[in-house]
Structure formats: structure tokens, C-alpha cells
Structure 1
């Protein structure tokens, strides 16, 4: 199987060898130059666009846009990202040296999302050599997806550097065609009491005690979110038949010394919005729940919304969705179903332009994405490549 993807595995090895830590913004330009040089070697037009202005700092945010002209007035945008999360400790294999074991390739970003870059360039290589694409293809290889994507695909979309008729985000699993992805609401809930000495708890109002009541009540809100369902089926092996809403407390902060009762206790949360759900309605629901709690606790409660990343939804009956499902099913040699992603991805930037957008990729749940010993199955890399080739060669028409 490895022999069928020599080009892609070699490219993936070079990509993994560059540590593109999204927190430190490491080696972004080196990765972008690698992708641009590779595309130009294939005879493709490639250009780097710096999204630093959208990031609000002076560090470069290079994004590579590669263009293949096909025999159509329709344009497919394919998006992938080169930034990765930090590797952490405890790896069996070196995180920044691709290690091949049987049909698996290990390394940070081997799955998320450098496999997608290798697969996409592999597809463009085949299409360019054959001259067989019925679609114009724009490949956007971007930065900062792991931290929101504002300086990556968000920048390219806002500036209309990329625009087209269809969007394919290569940042999902190959077990379904994903016709939407969840949105995210991040925020914090603050419980404010009365600071005091731990020897005199009767003279203070401990916000931690009050927070326990609040957090217990929020379990009811979380259960309520689980009863909000999307029209899209859930990914394979999910606990629900359809994509569902979620609310999770993820961080706690209170106090700084053992003998001091703190003034505040703060909880951070992650609320997942269904692909076809209105984020503002979900936020209103949370605020209403918090308001109803206020008379039941002695401390002051406030809820502050931080980031809101909208979801996106594409009608599964859309001709693009059906065309890609056929192309991917042909490559997989089995019929793939339609589903909705539980996570968020860069598709929201394309969907925000009114572009029908789906996601696919080689990021199986078992590949330890963001974890130790992340890896990709090489057959999945081939599957993604061939799915793009099939779509481009078959085209997208009303009769598809």
C-alpha cells in the first residue's frame, strides 16, 4: 500500500519534519515555502498571502494558495492547514520525524492536518499530469486553524483571495461525508462571594461553596443541551443517532492561598452548537438558565461570552454533496453516508461566503489527533487523494 503513495508519503515526511507549533507560531514560513515550492514544481500557480494583519501582531501568518485550471467555469476550493498543536511528552516515536510502521505513519500533524496537504497536492499532481480536471481547483493551505483560523482561511475568505462555487475542507474523518460542522461558544461563569480568613468562615461568603450549587444545577442545563438535535446524522459510533448539542465545564479557578477564602470562583465552559442551530438562541438559553439560578444562591453570578465560532450546514441533497459522496464512495469501494461533524473546522469561513461546504479527510478517531503518537493510515491518505481526483474528473453537474 505504501508504494501507491510514494509521492504523498515523501511530502508528508517533509511536512512533519517542520514543527509548525500553532502556539509559538514556529516555522510557519518554512512550511509555506515548502508547499509553494512543491506546487510550482508540479507546474501549478502558487502564491503566499500573509494574514498577519488579521492576527494583530507582527509575526508572519503565511497562507499558500495554489491554482489548477480545469475545463469548467466552476471552481472547487480545497482547504487544509499546516499548523499543529504542541507535541507534548511521552512519544514512542520522534514527533517531528515521520516514522512508518506497517501502513501507519507517525508524527505530529501526520493526521491533523498535514496528511490533507499531502493528499491534496497528490491529487493536483495526478490531475495536472492527466489534464483531466473538469473543475478549476483552488487549494488553500493555511495557518492558525488550531487557534481559530482568523489569520488563515478567515483572512483569505475576508479578502476574497479565495472564492468559488464549492468548498471542501480536508479536516475530518474518512468514515462519512460531513455536510456540516458544529460551532463553538466559549465563555466563563463567575461566582462572587465575600473574601475572608479561613479561620472565620462565618464572616465570609465562600464562592466555592456557592459554585458547587451552581455547577450541580448546570448539569441540568448540560442534559438539556444533549436533547437538542441536528437534522444531520451523527458520526459513526456516536452515542446519539443525530448530532447533538453539548455544554461542558472545562476549567476552574479559585483562590491562591490555603488560609484565604477567595472572593471569586471562575469556571470556563465549551458549548457546542449543532450545525443547523442558531448560536444566539443557544447563548440566550444559557443566559436564561443563569438568570433563573440567581435567586437560589447567595453569591452573585455572572456569565460572560468569549469567542463564538458559528456552525455551518449544507443540505445533504445539494448536488455537490451528492457528487462528492459518489466520488469518495468510488474511492472507498463502499457507500459512504452523510453525517455532521462534532467538532468545528475552517469550513465556517467558506460557508460564511455562501459557498456550499463539506468536510472529509484522513483524521480517523483512532489516529490520536492532538495526542501522543498521532498517526495516519496510509490507505486513508490515498482515499482522500483519489476522492478529490474522482470528483474533479467526474465534475459536478445537475445530472451528477
Structure 2
């Protein structure tokens, strides 16, 4: 069975799967993969009535086992489109549509790559796909919950390839081999509201919040390391909810984010924040949320093989990178090594999101040759 990658990508774009909606995307993939001989499982997770659609599909039952991970949910289209965001229009050598770069094009390319190799000969080992409908949203009931199910049912991969659009400008720019961790912290300091002319009758919480923020931002968290840039703390909001010039506020809040490398763990950074806050305001409240720990896939045979295949098809050596935001790789890294490589992401989340059709077709060949290089 051969597959037209542009046709499959267009069908996926036509599914209006704005997170958390699915609109038939999982059924389309399941039918396509079943036609290729995959066994498929729908693993919908979350509260009844609002479950996240997830799909796991596997071909083969022996090693080596390569898993491809991705997501079918997309961000809302927004305004300013020239092309129908769900119309999958081809123009000027490009395919337009919400999610084509991030990351329905990558999914279509991998499925087409499996079909291409399978048409040439029987595959060795096993290939699987872990596809979620909850990556652009909270990411609570997608990849994070499917992975334990995979482990319990004997589907632990030897390696995972995540098809996120890793390339900023050209196909072949970047392979991601790690991601920074991310945490948010909310600091709330209660004071006593009062008139600015009578400060002795009030307690200004801002005067305690400012030295806290000064201490937090003054610390150099680290100098980075061989694979990561220095960690970064950014204050993103300070608020007292005050519209008057003559009122001492009764409460002051701040929100900060830390993107941290493998020199730290999230819980250690949260404790440092708590200790710093407590030194200035013992009764202050600190709430924290760690959305992912930093991780690194040490460059080895699997990453080297991917780099060689990318070089062969693009003529450039991809940079091994750990920058950018978070991805579902932060969950996968807890179970097996993972790397990310996909299309050019220059237009992702923008109006008129698009990819070059030539890139889409080239990615099929890259994925096909990587399957073979991996031993499949």
C-alpha cells in the first residue's frame, strides 16, 4: 500500500481538531494504519464527557521497537488568513492549513514513510505510533497517561522519534535531543490596606515583594553546560489591583517562570523560591507548578543515525539542540530515549500556516531511511 503524503496531510487538516476537539482525526489515522497492517487501540483518558482522544498503533511484536509520537490537536486559527485554515489549499508550492507544520504534516510523513518501506519489503522489528489530541492544551490526559498504559501492556520502545517542527528556517536545521524544564510560581503577600498619608496604620505588601523579586532575579542560576544555555528566571506579572494613587494596597502578587536546564530539578528550585520568600515575608503564600523537568538524550547511535539520514537528504549537518519551549518529549524521556525532528516551524500557530510540499515529500524519505537505519 502506497500513500500520497499530501493527500493524507490534507485529510488531517480537514479535521477541525482545535484542542480539545478531535473531529475525526483519530478515526482517520486508525483506519489508515489498520490498512497498513497495524493493530490500533483508542486510549481515551480523562473525565467522562470530556475525554482526551488518544491513539496507539503498532506493527510487529519484536525488537527493535521504534515509536513515533505526535499530536493531532491544533491551536485556534485566529484571524488574518488568506487561505481557508481547514481547506488544505495548495498554492505556490506550499500546503496551507492549521496544523500542517505543528504537526499534522509530520504525522502524515511518518505514516507515508512506513507505507513506502513496507511496500518494498517486510519490516523487521516493530514500529508504533503514539498520537494524542491533548498537546496544545493542558497535556494532562494525552501522552502523559498513554505512556503508563504502553508500559503495562508490553509496548516499551527502544527509542522514540517525536515529529515536532524542529527546524526554524530549513529542513535539516535542528534535531532536538533535550528540552529545558519549566515551572511557574505565584507569590501572594497579604498586607493591610490604608491611606498613604497614614502608613503607620497600614502594612504595604509591595515593600516586601520588591526585595523578594530583587533577590530572586539577582541570583545567577547557572552558567549552562555542554548541551544547555543558562537557566532563566523571568518575572512575568506583578499586580496589586490598585487604581488609586492614595491607597496602600492590601495584597501584592507576582508570577514568575523559570526555564531550567539539567543542572537543576524543579522541586529544588521551588524550595529555593519558598525560602527566599519566607526570609522577607514568612506568612506569604507560594504556589508552584512544574510542567516538566529538564532532560537530555545523550547523543548515541540512534541520534547519529538520524543525523546521517538528515544530512544525506538535506545536505546539511543538523544542529543538536535543546532550546525552545516544552513538548511531550518531557513525558516520553521518563520511559525511553527520545529525539525530535520534523518540518520547518516558521509559520506554526500563525495565520496561513504552511509548509513547502517539497519539504513534506523529503520528510517522508528521511523518515523512511531512518526506519531502515534503525533496523526496521
Q: Considering the TM-score relative to the shorter chain, is it more than 0.5? A: yes
Match of 1:40 in 2: 34
Q: Tell which deviates more after alignment, 40-49 or 162-171.
A: 40-49
Match of 2:49 among 53, 58, 69: 58
Match of 1:361 in 2: 342
Match of 1:237 in 2: none
How far off is 1:77 after superposition?
0.8
Structure 1 contact 87–372 (Cα < 8 Å) conserved: yes
Give me the whole-angstrom Cα distance separating, in 1, the residues matched to 2:197 and 2:80: 43
Match of 1:114 among 98, 104, 109: 104
Give me the whole-angstrom Cα distance separating, in 2, the residues matched to 1:156 and 1:173: 23
Match of 1:238 in 2: none
Q: Point out where structure 1 has 5 or more consecutive residues left out of the alignment.
A: 233-241
SS at match of 1:50: coil
Give me the whole-angstrom Cα distance separating, in 2, the residues matched to 1:217 and 1:91: 45
Cα 1:132–1:393 change in 2 (3 A) is farther
Match of 1:244 in 2: 230
Residue 304 of structure 2 is aligned to residue 304 of structure 1: no
How far off is 1:81 after superposition?
0.4
Measured against aligned partners, the alpha-carbon deviations of 1:291-316 in whole angstroms (never above 9, x if no partner) come to: 45x17xxx964432123412221111
Structure 2 contact 101–165 (Cα < 8 Å) conserved: no
SS at match of 1:146: coil
SS at match of 1:391: helix
Residue 115 of structure 2 is aligned to residue 125 of structure 1: yes
TM-score, normalised by the number of residues in structure 2: 0.85
Match of 2:297 in 1: 314
Cα 1:35–1:214 change in 2 (3 A) is same
How far off is 1:261 after superposition?
4.8
Match of 2:9 among 12, 18, 27: 12
Match of 1:350 in 2: 332
Give me the whole-angstrom Cα distance separating, in 2, the residues matched to 1:114 and 1:200: 61
Residue 93 of structure 2 is aligned to residue 103 of structure 1: yes
Cα 1:30–1:79 change in 2 (3 A) is same
How far off is 1:277 after superposition?
3.8
Cα 1:373–1:271 change in 2 (3 A) is farther
Structure 1 contact 177–358 (Cα < 8 Å) conserved: yes
Structure 2 contact 103–165 (Cα < 8 Å) conserved: no
Measured against aligned partners, the alpha-carbon deviations of 1:191-215 in whole angstroms (never above 9, x if no partner) come to: 3221236786664334346545544
Q: Point out where structure 2 has 5 or more consecutive residues left out of the alignment.
A: 168-172
The alignment yields a C-alpha RMSD, in angstroms, of: 3.0
Structure 2 contact 189–251 (Cα < 8 Å) conserved: yes
Match of 1:168 in 2: 161
Q: Tell which deviates more after alignment, 279-288 or 9-18.
A: 279-288
TM-score, normalised by the number of residues in structure 1: 0.81
Give me the whole-angstrom Cα distance separating, in 2, the residues matched to 1:267 and 1:376: 39
Give me the whole-angstrom Cα distance separating, in 1, the residues matched to 2:271 and 2:358: 45
Cα 1:268–1:363 change in 2 (3 A) is farther
Structure 1 contact 328–390 (Cα < 8 Å) conserved: no
Structure 2 contact 17–23 (Cα < 8 Å) conserved: no
Cα 1:57–1:247 change in 2 (3 A) is farther
Structure 2 contact 66–158 (Cα < 8 Å) conserved: yes
Measured against aligned partners, the alpha-carbon deviations of 1:76-117 in whole angstroms (never above 9, x if no partner) come to: 011000112222333343333233342333332121121221
How far off is 1:21 after superposition?
2.2
Residue 69 of structure 2 is aligned to residue 69 of structure 1: no
Match of 1:395 in 2: 374
Structure 1 contact 82–141 (Cα < 8 Å) conserved: yes
SS at match of 1:229: coil
